[in-house]
Structure formats: structure tokens, C-alpha cells
Structure 1
Amino acid sequence: MTDPHDTEEPRQGFAEPYVIVSSDCHAGLPTEEYRPYLDARFHRDFDEFLGGRERRREEMTRLGIRNEAFADRWFSDNEEGLRGGWDPARRLKELDGDGVAAEVVFPDADAVDSRTAAPFGVGLGLSGDQDPELGMAGAQAHNRWLADFVSGNPERHCGVALLPVTGEVDRVVAEIHRAKESGLGALMIPSMWVDKAPYHDRRYDPVWAAAAACAMPVLTHSGAAPRDEYGDHLGIYVSEVTWWPARPLWFLLWSGVFERHPGLRFGVAESGCWWLPNLLWFMDRLYLGAHGGKKLSPFAELKRPPHEYLDRQIFVCATNTKRRELAQRYEIGVDNILWGSDFPHPEGTWPDTRGWLARTFHDIPVAETRRMLGLAAAEVFGFDTTKLAPLARRIGPTPADLGQDPDQRAVEASWARSREAGRHWLTGHDFPTLGVTP
């Protein structure tokens, strides 16, 4: 893990624009336009899927997930920009306007009406109970289109292939290699396996090995949840929706997946990172022999404490990162927090990303800001920052644009106590105060 404090900001140049890499953006065709990318034998099933869209939309409205008045205003106010969800030229214009040099591209451009859902619902709602044949067919249709979509400017886009990992292992591994060869750079697996084997099962080892060999990070993303359990109580869904994509992390960690596959990188997207410090504290203490865990058998699958796996292999695409989360960055690890704009979703920072960055990062050290806003993500997803630098000099905001103080020594000093405490359960320092307003 790179220590941002090893590099003096004056040497980099305070006026140098940020190379911003959004670790969480979205793209997808209007659903009916996926037909040419879908194997012909599934066209009849696809017609049935399209026929049920209105019913699904009505159900979303009934459950309170869809706000009719907000939806009408959102589409009216942002009609042209939203075309960037599938129009490459328009997308580049919107990214440039946000100051974003590169992006990681997940499915489902439309998060309001779901009119860009991949065939058979295998986008952000991808779940382990998906019909194996239809699930793989829908995933491959999206992956084929996405490979075409990112091919025009590959230095700016890392396409995330959909991977219904609970299916037949040989087919899943074959799709990893096919996706890699087509130009895609990461893999999204279901957050939920429902009635299939959990991710601690050794049947998935060939999948993790293939992802590591292809240098394709594996991610979960918020979206899937057991909505049928919540009834009309939307607050239950909102309270849990970011828990489900985080859950695979501890299944993989405690079962030794990261130990057996040290080249595997795993990330949790659009679930924030507010939950990670307490989880890491709890897991480390268990492993290191805290009083409450002494009656348990040793954790034989692990050869090192959980925080070492986090720093070596795990990251969080902390979309729309909050001030409270930034205050916890020394517990999480600065390099483990990858910022994302969530373009073009309304819960993200677009189309006011520049203003949002200024309100959020104005008092964060510039060296750390560079890591969280782009350099750490570039390393995880394989972006070439030398190719992005000329573009960033044209479109990227500078530290001054974010209201950051040229006197970086004073800024560093203001965070010294929190940085020194770090992971306080390891350093022995007192638990640090947050130091910022939420």
C-alpha cells in the first residue's frame, strides 16, 4: 500500500489537476436494444421478459421504490445528459464536465425506471437464484455490448463484466476468459447466492483462480436484496441494501479465499465504507485473541490478521464518499477508499461533481485526495495514468478548485492525531475523535 505522505505535495505541484478515476459509473442499452447481442435461441424468452417490464415498474411504484414526481423531474431536467448512459460521445462530454478522466463501468444506466436493464434482470439485481441458462445468456449479451462500448476509448473505461458465478463452474470460468479477451477489465458477481452454494464453498476456487490469473478484480454492487420480505416498509430495504454486497467479504476472508488466492482483488461497490472500521476492528480482535473469542477454535484458514488481507487485496468503491467516512480513512486505509461519481444515477454526484468534491474534500490533504480520487483506483483497475495525465490537465479540477489550502503542512498537522491513532486497536492510541461534521 502506498503511503501518500511519502511524497511531498509541493514536489508534485499544488497546481497540478487531479487525475480523477470514478470507481463506480453505470452504462447500459435501453433494454429492447440488447436483442442483437443475445443468442437467437433466447429471443422468445427475451420477448416475454420485455412484456413484463410495465408490471415490474408498477410493483416498484407500489413498494415506494419509485417516486413518480421525482422520476418525472429527473428525466425532464437531465434528458440529454442521461443519453450518456449508452451514447459514447455524450458520455465523454458528461465525464469531461465532471472532471472525470476515467471510469469503472457497471451495468444499469437508468436507476429510476430500470429501462436499461440487461436481459433477464441480470444487472444490479443479479442474484444467485437466477435461471442458469437465462442468467448466463443475459450476462453475455450485456458483456458483448459493453466490450463494444468501451472499445472506442479503452484508456478511459474499465468495463465490468456480469458473472452469474453460481452457475456451472466451467462455463463461469470460460466467461471470465472470454470477457478478458474482449477487453473488459473487472467482474461483478451476485451479492446474494440465495439457494446456491455460499462463497466459502471450494467449488468456486477455479473461479477465484481464473479472476486472479486474468488480473480482473471481482466486485459486488448494491442493488439485490430480498425485497419480497420487506412488504411496503421501504426503510427496511434501505437499511439492508448496502449490507448484502458487503456480506461476501467475510465469507471470502474467513474461509481463506484471500490466503489461497493472493492475486485476487475483491471490492464492494456503492455500499459506502462507513461500516468497515467497526467490522475490521471486530475481525482483527477475534483473530488476535480477544477475550470474547478465546473459547473459539483457531482460525486455521487465515495466516495473517484480517487487516493485512484488506490492505493487500480488498478495496471499497465508496461512491459519493461522505465526510464521516473520510474522517475514518486512517482506520479503513486511504488506499482502500476509491471514490465514485455513480454517473448517471441520481443518488450520485453528477451533474454537480465539481461542487460536491469541493464541499467534501476541501480540508483533506492533497496527497491523500489524489490517492482516493483516482490514483488508487488506477492501480486496482489497471488504468495508465501517463495516458490520462494530458486529459486531466485539460478537464481535471485542481486543489485550488476544491478550496484546498496551499499550506499543506498545516493541513497535514490538523490531521496528525487521527493519522497517528490510525487503527487504534493496533497502535495502542486512544480512539480518535471524528474531527469533522458528518
Structure 2
Amino acid sequence: MPDMPEPYLIVSSDCHAGPPTEQYRPYLESRFHREFDDFLSERDARREAMTRLGVRNEAFAARWFADNEEGLRGGWDSAQRDKELDGDGVAAEVIFPDADAVDSGTAAPFGVGLGLSGDQDPELGMAGARAHNRWLAEFCAREPQRRCGVALLPVTGDVAEVVAEIRRAKETGLGALMIPAMWDDKAPYHDRRYDPVWAEAEALRMPVVTHSGAAPRHEYGDHLGIYVSEVTWWPARPLWFLLWSGVFERFPGLRFGVAESGCWWLPNLLWFMDRLYLGAHGGKKLSPFAELTQPPSAYLDRNVFICATNTKRRELAQRYEIGIDNILWGSDFPHPEGTWPRTREWLRDTFHDIPVSEARRMLGLAALDVFGFDADALRPVAARIGPRPQELGQPEDQSAVEASWARARETGRHWLTGHDFPYVGRETAT
């Protein structure tokens, strides 16, 4: 292929940044400093609870921090961060909160980081979000071409205040919005009270994203397996609330994403929702879906993307059902469950037999479109640090690779194309 020698322009759709929690103080309005001091004083108790529940493994934590002390500073140190991303071959990134996913040492004020949920005190929640957003805007401004900051948005609060924060985030250079995956006792996302929020996000071209982390942990007791079985379900749940209530119909330019929840769950969900809409036998007794004018898969392709962190080969085997442009790879830097600091090795193990043209979309080009990165500004960065297809084990002659996936590509969404159950290719178990 003519473009084989060109390096990949890689965008991580899921990275994390945030300073040590106490350093948020200058970014927080002074009237909240007393509450912030109380929040800081409770850190040890929170850490002990995490250890007791098994969410924190003390032996692993000690090894992780000892082995990666220098690199972990990239969670808030701009120069160190660039060094780590360069080493991974990542030209640009989308930045979520909470750099430290082991000890929660960089937690955003009042628990509004990855634990953002509808159960926070509305006033404190918005104050903590604004503090993080101020810090993040400064951080992204140091490398604006390479960083898209995701503003925290406690959307279940006062709508006028939420809309004002969207505008302020945009004015300060942030590029996307993270909303709670859970709304607790607040209005669900099918409620029309949120329409001004969706309208503002659409108008300003700021994608709205949920991220894994929040879950009803009080229900799980000491049974960590329950938490890990459900933690990726909660951020996906808003997707069908928005879709079936017609939000994507009313706001066709709104982009909505689900981050760090994989994409393994999407093919069967999409098959099920399309069949319901198209009048499958099991759904005939239900009322018509008046809010929709297209099958759910059409809204998925137009409005939805999945920040499929640490994408697995099993998920890549289903990419023709999910939609190649709907899968946005992420490294999860600097979290230990991600691919850093061995991203190049991971990419080779995962993408070696994926067609180069498709890998380019999932590893970066689709994210450029969703998050509005300047491709021209990033090409010199990619030329300097990006891995080439040969480094990922992808042969220069792509004809055999393309042929090996021809049947799966033709089958696509089998419930729409009329083909038999999809052919899933090779080596899909890992």
C-alpha cells in the first residue's frame, strides 16, 4: 500500500491527569476551603476502606509506585508527560481526571473525578468540578495541539449553572464534557430538563462522555466481584436513555461517548435494539418508538463513539458490527490497567493482523474527527514518534490481510445485511 511507510498518527481517547489533591486549593473558590480541608482530612479513611474492600492492593501499590515513580509524575508534570507519551508513540490525547488510580492521591475535590455521580452535594460538586476544570485548562494550554481536556460537568445540578460551565470550559480551551454515569435520585437523562445542556454541547461541538468508575458500591458489601462485573455497565447505561428518548433525534449534531468500558457489550446490544425497532416478533406487542425515525444503529453511527481503552482482540474481531469509526483506542495513561509503559509492544500484539487502513482509523483518525484535533499540527509529532506499520508486525503487502477479513467485512451487521451469524476471524479469545 502507498501509505505503508508512513507512521501512525495515534490519539489516545482515554488518558488521565490531575495534580496531588491538595494542589487544587488555589483553583477552588475560597468560600469552599473549609470543606476542602475536611475532604483532605478524610483521605486516609477512604484509602483504608479501599484496601478493606479489595479495591486497593497494598503489595501491588508499593511495586507500582516504586517501579514507575518518574513516569507517574507525568500525571501532572507537563514535560514528563510529553516524554512518556512520546515513548508510547502517542501524538495526542483526550484527558480525563484522576491521574492516580491506585491511591487516589490526585482525586479531584469532593469526589467529582471518576466517581462523579448524582449523589454529590450540588454546590460542592460544581465547585470541585470548576476547580479541576481551571487546573486542566492551564495544563492543556501548555501543549494545546496535543491535548483535549475533558471538563467535569455535574449535569444533574442547576441547568443554568451547568450551561454556564459548558461555555466557560469552552472559552478556556477545554474540548469535551464528562457527565455522571449515574444520577442517583436526580432526573434521568430522558428528562427534557437536560435539553438546554445537550443543545449547548451540540452548538459548541463539545462531545459528551461518561467514564467508568462510579457504581453503587454501598450495595456490594465486601464482594468486589460484583463491582468489577458491573462497573462498565453503569457508564454505558446513559446511552440507551439518550437514544430511546429521542435526544439524538432532537440534537443530531450531539456526540456522545462511553469511555474505559470496552466495546465488547455493544454488538449484542445493537443487534437487540435494532431488532426491537424493526419489529422483531419479541417486540411486536410494544408501542411504536415514536421518538425515533431511524434504527438505533443509525444513531450509533452518527452520534455515538466508544473510547475503547486497551481494546482487546475479541473486540477488534467484532469491529464490523460495532463500526470501525465508532471505536477509539485509548492507552489509559498513567493507570496500571492501561497499556503504558509498554504501548508499542501492546499495539504489535493486538493489531498485527488488522488492515492498516482500519487500524489507522481506530488508533487515531476517528478520534481526530470526534474531538476536533488539528491533523496538520499533529503530523510532525507523529512523524517524529509514531510507530510504523512494520513495527506493529503489519506486512507491507496488505492483500492477504485484507482477504482474511473479507467475509467478516461483507457480513457486517448481519441482522441488516442478511448474512449468517458473523464470521469473527482468527485468534479472538484474548
Q: Which TM class, normalised by the smaller chain length?
A: over 0.9
Q: Which residue of 1 aligns with 2:361?
A: 371
Q: Does 1:40 align with 2:33?
A: no
Structure 1 residues 216-231: aligned runs within 5 Å? 216-231=206-221
Q: Give the C-alpha shift of residue 434 in structure 1.
A: 2.0
Which consecutive residues of structure 1, in runs of 5 or more, have no partner in the other structure?
Answer: 1-9
Which structure 2 residues correspond to residues 256-405 of structure 1 after superposition, within 5 A?
Answer: 256-405=246-395
Q: What residue in structure 1 maps to residue 203 of structure 2?
A: 213
Match of 1:95 among 85, 98, 110: 85
Structure 2 distance, partners of 1:182, 1:407, is 46
Q: In structure 2, give the amino acid aligned to 1:144.
A: R
For normalisation by structure 1, the TM-score amounts to: 0.97
- Equivalents in 1 of 2:58, 2:37: separation in Å? 26
Q: SS of the counterpart of 1:401?
A: helix
Structure 1 residue 433, shift from structure 2 partner: 3.0
For 1:419, the equivalent position in structure 2 comes to 409
Q: Which residue of 1 aligns with 2:119?
A: 129
Structure 2 CA distance for aligned equivalents of residues 32 and 336 of structure 1: 37
- Aligned identity (percent) is 81
**Structure 1 residue ranges (4+ consecutive) displaced by more than 4 angstroms after TM superposition:** none
1:111-150 equivalences in 2 (<5 Å) = 111-150=101-140
Aligned twin of 1:23: 13
CA–CA separation in structure 2 for the residues paired with 1:341 and 1:327: 19
Measure how far apart 1:78 and its partner are.
0.1
Q: Deviations over 1:360-396 (max 9, x none)?
A: 0000000000000000000000011111111111100
1:154 positional shift: 0.5
Q: How much does 1:407 deviate? A: 1.4
Say whether the 8 Å CA contact 1:324–1:436 is kept in structure 2.
no
| Superposed CA offset, 1:283-306 (max 9, x none) | 000000000000111000001000
Give me the whole-angstrom Cα distance separating, in 2, the residues matched to 1:160 and 1:436. Answer: 36
SS at match of 1:400: helix
Q: Which residue of 2 aligns with 1:201?
A: 191
Structure 1 residues 240-270: Cα deviation after superposition (integer angstroms, max 9, x where no partner): 0000000000000000000000110000000
CA distance, structure 2, for counterparts of residue 56 and residue 436 of structure 1: 44
Question: Which of 154, 179, 184 pairs up with 1:189?
Answer: 179
The whole-number CA distance in structure 2 between the counterparts of 1:355 and 1:84 is 20
Structure 2 equivalent of residue 7 of structure 1: none
Contact 1:17 1:393 in 2 (8 A): yes
Aligned residue pair count = 428
Q: Give the whole-Å Cα distance in 1 for the aligned partners of 2:374 and 2:6.
A: 17
Is 2:205 the partner of 1:245?
A: no
| Whole-Å separation in 2 of the counterparts to 1:291 and 1:113 | 50
Structure 2 counterpart of 1:81: 71
Contact between 1:323 and 1:436, CA under 8 Å: does it hold in 2?
Answer: no
CA contact (8 A) 2:404 2:425 kept: no
Determine which of 170, 175, 178 is the counterpart of 2:165.
175
Name the CA distance, whole Å, in 2 between partners of 1:395 and 1:412.
27
For structure 2, the residue ranges without an aligned partner over 5 or more in a row are none
Comparing 85-94 and 402-411, the one that deviates more: 402-411
**RMSD after superposition:** 0.5
